[in-house]
Amino acid sequence: MVAAEVLVHSSADAVAEALAARLMSRLLEIQREPRIPEIALTGGRIATQAYQRMGQEGRSSAVDWSRIGLWWGDERFVPADDDDRNARQALSALSTLPLDLTRVHPMPASGDGLDLDGAAEAYEAELGHTALDICLLGMGPDGHVASLFPEHPSSYADGRVIPVRASPKPPPERTSLTLEVINSAAEVWFCVTGADKAAAARLALSGAGPLQVPAAGAHGRERTLWLLDRDAAADLPPNLVSRGVL
Ligand SMILES: O=C(O)[C@H](O)[C@@H](O)[C@H](O)[C@H](O)COP(=O)(O)O
């Protein structure tokens, strides 16, 4: 497994700014190969702030927004027009960009004609074995990533896309990629801010078990990047941060 790179920024805003800049730069690099980047997006405040920044600055960048595949790491199983939908938040932030919607793959919403199991199955079929270039992840204060929660059936489930019931964080019904898919991505990028994440960040970066701390089990094949603010990094061992590498 490649060592995690740990980068600490001065504030949550700086993490969002860095995430947006890094994403745009990496998208451009992949397009120049030339290839269509396939990216799994996350929900969460910082990622959404980064998407807003991309929505504002992206048009003047050299990124070809019509040649990007967008997927989601997890989704709340609520109606498509519910503001809680990760996809709705991201796509509203990115609405200024000329995305090719045939390459945009939100997870099914409730009311789309599928029950929760059917929604997970349909997304698994749609995703197939798409080679994800980057999987973005937030992390909850409990160490959850996507909708894989500690000591919860979601963290034990087999499969590539799973239905999640009785989520400890509302809403209770969700769909989620599993670690099998997340860890097949070339790169996994975490964006984690706030003092309430400090303990989980320490555990995740110190070899905790993935059933107890799902974030500990997420890593990219080629790169695992942690973008944190000072508050979230406060409990990390100093050697980890100063060397910048685990
Ligand atoms: O589906 C969800 O409930 C969220 O997407 C959640 O998984 C989020 O990514 C983390 O809780 C981090 O969120 P913040 O970055 O806003 O703290």
Is residue 243 scored above 50 in pLDDT?
A: no
CB 59 within 8 A of CB 93: no
223 vs 173: CA distance, rounded Å: 31
| Rounded distance from Cα 137 to ligand 1 centre (Å) | 8
Residues 6+ apart with CB under 8 A from 63: 24, 27, 28, 31
Half-sphere exposure of 78 (CA within 13 A, CB side): 14
| Rounded distance from Cα 159 to ligand 1 centre (Å) | 22
Query: pLDDT by residue (tens digit) across 166-195?
Result: 999 999 999 999 999 999 999 999 999 999
215 vs 204: CA distance, rounded Å: 6
Q: Compute how many other C-beta atoms are within 10 angstroms of the C-beta atom of residue 166.
A: 10
Mean pLDDT of 13-22: 97
Mean pLDDT of 36-65: 97
pLDDT of 227: 97
More confident residue, 246 or 26: 26
Residue nearest to atom 11 of ligand 1 (CA): 140
- pLDDT above 70 covers a percentage of the chain that reads 98
pLDDT, mean over the chain: 96
Query: pLDDT by residue (tens digit) across 185-225?
Result: 999 999 999 999 999 999 999 989 999 999 999 999 999 99
| Rounded distance from Cα 47 to ligand 1 centre (Å) | 9
In this structure, the residues whose C-beta lies within 6 A of any atom of ligand 1 are 42-46, 74, 76, 86, 138-140, 147, 169
pLDDT of 246: 39
Domain boundaries along the sequence of the chain: 12-139+190-197
Query: pLDDT by residue (tens digit) across 118-168?
Result: 999 999 999 999 999 999 999 999 999 999 999 999 999 999 999 999 999
Q: 137 in helix, strand or coil?
A: strand
Tokens of 219: 């890593």
What interface predicted TM-score (ipTM) does this complex get?
Answer: 0.93
Q: 172 in helix, strand or coil?
A: coil
What does residue 201 show for φ and ψ, rounded to 5 degrees? -65, -40
The residue behind tokens 């938040």 is 89
Is residue 240 scored above 80 in pLDDT?
A: no
Nearest ligand 1 atom to alpha carbon 86: 5
pLDDT of 65: 98
Nearest ligand 1 atom to alpha carbon 47: 15
Mean pLDDT of 57-72: 97
pLDDT of 238: 79
Is residue 6 scored above 60 in pLDDT?
A: yes
Is residue 244 scored above 50 in pLDDT?
A: no
2 vs 200: CA distance, rounded Å: 20
Residue to mutate, 86, 162, 192, 228, ligand 1, most ligand atoms under 8 Å from C-beta: 86
Alpha-helical regions (H) of the chain = 12-31, 45-57, 86-93, 116-127, 153-156, 179-182, 198-204, 238-243
Q: List strands edge to edge, sheet with 74-76.
A: 74-76, 174-177, 161-164
236 vs 95: CA distance, rounded Å: 37
| Rounded distance from Cα 34 to ligand 1 centre (Å) | 32
What is the radius of gyration, based on Cα positions, of the chain? 17
Residue nearest to atom 2 of ligand 1 (CA): 43
178 vs 143: CA distance, rounded Å: 15
DSSP, res 215: G
- pLDDT above 90 covers a percentage of the chain that reads 94
Chain mean position to CA 241: 22
> Any idea which architecture 12-139+190-197 has in CATH?
3-Layer(aba) Sandwich (3.40)
Residue nearest to atom 15 of ligand 1 (CA): 44
